[in-house]
Amino acid sequence: MSTATVLALGDSTTAGTPGFQSPIEAPPHGCGNAESQYAYWLMRAQPQWRVLNHGVNGERSDQIRRRLARDILDRSIDVIVLIAGVNDIYQNRSAEVVERELEAMFDLAASVPRSIPVVAGSILPYNTATAEQNRRMHEVNRWLRDYSRTHLAVKFCDTRAAAADPAVPDRLGSSPDGLHPGPEGYRLVALALEPVIRQLLEARQARA
C-alpha cells in the first residue's frame, strides 16, 4: 500500500492521556510515553502511514468540530479517524447533541474536494461512568453504527470494545487512572482501527 496521511481527531483518548500529550497540546512533537497513543501503534503496524495525533484532552464534540475545518484544509488528508463525545456525556450533554455534532463533522469531511472518508470510533468507556452516562454512550455508539450502514464514506469501528475489559464491557481493560487506556489499551484500539483505515484507503486509491 502507498503512503497515506491519517488525521487522528478527538479528545483525550486520541491524545493519549494520561501518558502522552499530543503535538497539539505540547508542540511541536508532543511529550511523554509515545506508546500511550493509538497513533504510535498504527504507525508501528503500517510504517508507510503518517498518523497526525490531533487529540486534545477534555474537548467536547463541538470543540473538536471547530478544529476540523482548519485541520483538513491545511493538510492533505487521506482518512480521518474521529473519536468524540465522551466529554459531552461526562458533562451531562445529551446523546442527540453529540450525534448532531458528529454528523456535522461527517458532512464537513464529505464537502471538501476529494471528500475525505471517516472512521467513526465508538466512545470508549471510563470506570466512574454512571448507568445513565453509559446508557447515553451506548446510544451514541449505536447511532454511529447505524449511520455508517447508510453512508459509504463513514466506517464504524468499535473502539469501545477494543479498550474495554472483556468481562465488564463498561469498564476499561487497561487503565492507569480509571478514565483512559494505558499503552496496552491504546495498542488494542489501534489493532481495531488498522483494518478499517486500510479498507477506506484501498477504496479511495481505487477511485483515484
DSSP string, 107-154: HHHHHSSS---EEEEPPPP-TT--HHHHHHHHHHHHHHHHHHHH-TTE
Look at residue 1 and tell me whether its pLDDT is greater than 60. no
Q: Mean pLDDT over residues 101-113, rounded?
A: 94
pLDDT confidence bin for 63, thresholds 50/70/90 = very high
Residue 117: count of CB within 10 angstroms of its CB: 23
- Provide the percentage of residues in the chain whose pLDDT is more than 90: 89
Q: Mean pLDDT over residues 142-162, rounded?
A: 97
- What Å distances lie between residue 34 and 11, 138, 201, CA to CA? 16, 29, 25
How do residues 73-103 score in pLDDT, each as one tens digit? Answer: 767 899 999 999 999 999 999 999 999 999 9
Kindly report the pTM of this predicted structure: 0.96
Q: Mean pLDDT over residues 112-117, rounded?
A: 88
Domains along the chain with CATH numbers: 4-207 (3.40.50.1110)
Is the pLDDT higher at 63 or at 113? 63
Residue 181: partners with Cβ closer than 8 Å, 6 or more residues away: 13, 124, 163, 172, 173, 174, 175, 188, 189
pLDDT of residue 128: 97
Look at residue 69 and tell me whether its pLDDT is greater than 90. no
